[in-house]
Amino acid sequence: MARKTHFDVIVIGSGPGGEGAAMGLTKAGLNVAIIEKENSVGGGCTHWGTIPSKALRHAVSRIIEFNSNPIFSRNSSNVHASFSDILSHAKTVIDKQTRLRQGFYDRNQCDLIFGKAHFVEKNKVAVQQPDGSLEYYTADKFVIATGSRPYQPADVDFNHPRVYDSDSILSLGHTPRNIIIYGAGVIGCEYASIFRGLDVKTDLINTRDRLLSFLDNETSDALSYHFWNSGVVIRNDETYEKVEATDDGVVIHLQSGKKMRADCLLYANGRTGNTDKLNLEAVGLTPDSRGSLGINKKYQTEVEHIYAVGDVIGYPSLASAAYDQGRFVAQNIVKGKADTHLIEDIPTGIYTIPEISSVGKTEQELTAAKVPYEVGRSSFKHLARAQIAGKDIGSLKILFHRETKEILGIHCFGERAAEIIHIGQAIMEQKGKANNIEYFVNTTFNYPTMAEAYRVAALNGLNRLF
């Protein structure tokens, strides 16, 4: 049977944003194709970003847990794993995810086209096959969901076997003795946790004055302390002058005059939207200097029939938000408007060791806005569930309005923080008087649980009111 060449909508990219859009459109009865440049679906999220890094982190944190548990360490020697060992765990997760996602397209009769797409004219794309040949497809509308990739400055040689970015680090075949991580954003901090957990000497170069400065200051300070305590060397406010890679190591020269040396370098400073190979000039679109596309409230680009979602439109660059954006685009295309929109307070999950998660305002933002807030705190070391699990590092902080008792922000540090945050987020998202810190005092939680942190923190905060 001859392959269809015209569709109602063509989605370019099969990551979370593309999948959300394609599923929404096919379920609404439209004739949809999704084009994917790799040989399996899932995008950067599944293959190089979110899924592999979290799988690596999970494996490392379990090793740390085993080695620090007195029951196990008394009766056996420490468990050691190489980077390759934990990579094999990540690969099994990636394979499961890929099969699952492939099944979504098959079940919903969404045409999957593998190859590299670029625009030829307003309603036409060419898809390059591995042998170099081109296939042409047309559509009434397009959704660009091509994601992002690690930023690579021209003066750093990423072809050198000792220089990696956050994609290529997944092909690291050995465990280095020491590593320099340049860039202390979310990705840099997560990999610093992973390598330090594998007993690799880790130097973390931060181009800013504090770690993850968008976080509440106390949380950022807690992460810095735990990094320092585990032996990670952090250098704040530094920028590289040049990177010198040789057969036996990498030397990074900093503008401050310092020099640092390690077995390898992980450059993790910034990302770029994947728009450069799409030939967007053919349709009259120009991305900004970071490869991002501008959109309106309906996720339409300047060209009316072309939409964009996910990392390629910039902030918030989260897999969770990209799924939602894809769903909203499908609604906009089908009905002319979306039923809902992206929530204002998107939770942040940072999978360092220990984990960090927050939602809403920080203390600094509330102080600057002169909002009269109070703080309720709970320390994990006082919770029975944390003591049972041996996970007593961490805390929960609730910020709430002194007069209305409305919850304004929640900041959590410690194991399972990204799960714990959702309990508070659910109450915070309620409108009017339903968003009230007293909910946590008046509700009976399971005991012993980590959720009890909310009751403890709420009582602690309410006791401060006078």
Report the distance separating Cα 13 and Cα 157, nearest Å.
28
State the DSSP code for 149.
E
Would the annotation count 415 as a binding residue? no
43 is in an annotated binding site: yes
Count of residues in the chain: 466
Q: Which stretches within 198-241 are classed as H helix?
A: 217-230
Is 409 known to sit in a ligand binding site? no
Task: Give 115's contacts (C-beta < 8 A, 6+ positions apart).
Answer: 35, 37, 127, 128, 129, 130, 135
Helix axes 83-107, 50-68, angle to 10 degrees: 140
- Name the one residue in this structure whose structure tokens are 């919770």: 383
**Residue 37 known to bind ligand:** yes
User: Using CA atoms, how far apart are residues 185 and 289, in angstroms rounded to an integer?
Assistant: 20
d(CA 411, CA 421): 8
Cβ-contact 164, 172 below 8 angstroms: yes
Q: What is the token pair recorded at 247? A: 């057969």
Annotated binding residue at 185? no
Which residues is 9 bridged to in the sheet?
32, 141
284 is in an annotated binding site: no
Tell me how far apart the terminal alpha carbons of the chain are, to the nearest angstrom.
Answer: 76
* Bridge partners, residue 121, by sequence: 124
Sign of CA dihedral 166, 168, 171, 174: negative
Check the annotation: does 40 bind a ligand: yes
The answer to whether the Cα torsion of 417, 54, 267, 324 is positive or negative is: negative
- The Cα 269–Cα 185 span in angstroms is 7
Contact 63, 57 (CB under 8 A): no
* Long-range Cβ contacts of 385-389 (<8 Å, 24+ apart): 385/448, 385/449, 385/450, 385/452, 386/414, 386/450, 388/448, 389/415
**Does the annotation flag 45 for ligand binding?**
yes
Residue 41 assigned ligand-binding role: yes
Task: Please check if 110 is assigned to a binding site.
Answer: no
**Cα–chain center distance at 76:** 36
Question: Annotated binding site: which residue ranges?
Answer: 36-45
Question: Annotated binding site for FAD: which residue ranges?
Answer: 36-45
